[in-house]
Amino acid sequence: MAADGGGQEVVRVFNSNALHMKSKGKTREGVNDVLTQGDLLSHRLMVHSLSASFPGLRIISEEHSSVEDNALEITPIHVSDELLYDDKYSKLPFGLEIPLGELTVWVDPLDATKEYSEGLTKYVTTMVCIARNGEPIIGVIHKPFSSETYWSWKGNGMSSNIESALKTYNKTKDTFRAIVSRSHAGDVDSIIKKSLSNEYKDIEVIPAAGSGYKT
């Protein structure tokens, strides 16, 4: 739900044409590491809404709050009955209690920022990972421009869209598909084809962006 809310900020900023792009420097591959208003406002909503809902929760975000952000009033996440019956969350288990001190939440308020700034919105996601005593137990990937949310909770189920994808997935011995970074793939394409050419008849290397999209 925090990922969904952050995604709404990402879309709102994009539609307002107010990205206010900055550079955080260069990646190891020499690609410009972009920061936008979408990153910051999504971070602010996701982190502060979680903090307001669960005071004392340890949250780690890719971005960082400013003094002004910390002074803003953010409404805690409200979970309505209508929301719980939404198909995106209908598979969630209820009634489970976990001590707050055992949890750490990682937040990526906007994955694929470079593509976001270029208008390639299909690659954009917001993501949340929850770990218990250092072990990841919940993963959430939200695609804000198509309003799709994918989640999985170790030992407690997964979203219906993941279940459907697993049922229809058809693995063949003749075809191998790999998704690689579109911006800094390096020599991965040639390495994959060279390494697997004797094992697979067809090898398809698909360039894509963002950890969330590739997942």
The pLDDT tens digits of the residues spanning 20-79 come to: 888 776 666 666 677 899 999 999 999 988 998 899 999 999 876 543 454 444 555 554
Question: Which of 113, 98, 18, 6 has its CA nearest to residue 50?
Answer: 6
**110 assigned binding-site residue:** yes
| Most confidently predicted of 20-34, 86-100, 102-116, 167-181 | 102-116
Q: What is the DSSP letter of 13?
A: H
The partner residues of 58 in beta bridges, in order of sequence, read: 104
| Tokens 């991965």, located at residue | 188
* Cα distances (angstroms) measured from residue 134 to each of 58, 92, 127, 151: 12, 22, 18, 19
Query: Could you confirm whether domain 2-166 is CATH 3.30.540.10?
Result: yes
Number of CB atoms found within 10 A of residue 49's CB = 19
Whether pTM exceeds 0.75? yes
pLDDT value of residue 67: 38
Q: 3-state SS of the chain: helix, strand, coil percent to 5? A: 35, 30, 40
- Helices (DSSP H) in 87-156: which residue ranges? 113-117
**4 assigned binding-site residue:** no
**62 assigned binding-site residue:** yes
Looking at the chain, the whole-number percentage of residues with pLDDT higher than 70 is: 77
Residues of the chain with CATH 3.30.540.10: 2-166
